[in-house]
Amino acid sequence: MSWLVTGGAGYIGAHIVRALADAGLEPVVIDDLSSGHAGFVPDGVPFVRGSILDLDLLTSTLRDHDVEGVIHVAGYKYAGVSVQRPLHTYAQNVEGTRVVLEAMAATGVANLVFSSSAAVYGTPDVPLVTEDLPKRPASPYGESKLIGEWLIRDQGVATASGEAPLRHTSLRYFNVVGSGDPSVYDTSPHNLFPIVFERLLAGETPKIFGDDYDTEDGTNVRDYVHVADIAAAHVVAAQRLAAGEPIEPAYNLGSQNGLSVRQIMDAMARVTGIDFTPEIGPRRPGDPDRIVATGELAARDLDWANRYTVDEMVRTGWEARRAAR
């Protein structure tokens, strides 16, 4: 029996694939390589190149590889760009999730871990985000992830009395950073760590957008969590589903405390050995002071913990990026 990882050639998906293999589970990858990289898939792991929108391909993959569960990571993950590309975002994230569920129903696969997002909360005005907070997504990306959760919930209700009732959970997280393998690094052009790394490698000065927020050092505070911790939580969720153990419909994979952009920049200078003073630019519209989530439920059920310091987050990400040069 195996676990299918959609988007398993991407930054997060490839770490989940490695964590599954380390746990003695058999990963299978499907990815269209629109943002993933074939080289991120470990040798020996079955890799199907194709889109999750292809129902026939997805169904045959589930059947051919004797899949017992799906970790659904594939999706269009650029919240800011989703405002300009809402139709593309909905096609990939909403229709993609619907097709995954249809393929699972056709093949009797009944376990699903959904890689969701804290973007479902929008910009909450509370110091600590909990799972029961009202959902007010502020972008088509966040809306698409919330609709994905609704689709999964409704399919769970619809199949509850059938032969293969859908068991599922959704994992919501914020900013994923670092690397758990020097051959895998974040290639997103929109995330803070790779943006800073690329500027430093180019001999340019990183920028902070706003230093007058209502926070300890004036820069906004966010959850930054290490990709290896994220991957480990997905594996424990898969194991609980396969074992029939109780599981919540959703978990925040939060840091509880958060880190400021200034703290990230200071760590970048310490770890890379590149002495720089960040440029200060104007605030970006809609950027809240602080968004940090609790991880208490996930700690209780998914062995969730923040096992990396900020310097370790930077060091592992920097080493992986430099190894790719």
CATH number assigned to the domain comprising residue 264:
3.90.25.10
Could you tell me if 288 and 146 lie in one domain?
Answer: no
| Number of domains comprising the chain | 2
Q: How many CA atoms within 13 Å lie on the side-chain side of 275?
A: 0
Could you tell me if 295 and 146 lie in one domain?
Answer: no
Could you tell me if 140 and 211 lie in one domain?
Answer: no
Could you tell me if 94 and 237 lie in one domain?
Answer: yes
Question: Which of these is catalytic: 78, 121, 141, 308?
Answer: 141
Asked if 78 is an active-site residue, the reply is no
CATH number assigned to the domain comprising residue 111:
3.40.50.720
- Per-residue pLDDT tens over the stretch 19-72: 999 999 999 999 999 999 999 999 999 999 999 999 999 999 999 999 999 999
Is the whole-model pTM more than 0.85?
yes
Could you tell me if 66 and 99 lie in one domain?
Answer: yes
- Per-residue pLDDT tens over the stretch 132-165: 999 999 899 999 999 999 999 999 999 999 999 9
Could you tell me if 67 and 171 lie in one domain?
Answer: yes
- Per-residue pLDDT tens over the stretch 210-263: 999 999 999 999 999 999 999 999 999 999 999 999 999 999 999 998 999 999
Could you tell me if 81 and 186 lie in one domain?
Answer: no
Could you tell me if 20 and 55 lie in one domain?
Answer: yes
Could you tell me if 133 and 263 lie in one domain?
Answer: no
Residue 111 has pLDDT above 80, yes or no: yes
> What is the extent of the structural domain holding 137?
2-175+224-252
Could you tell me if 313 and 230 lie in one domain?
Answer: no
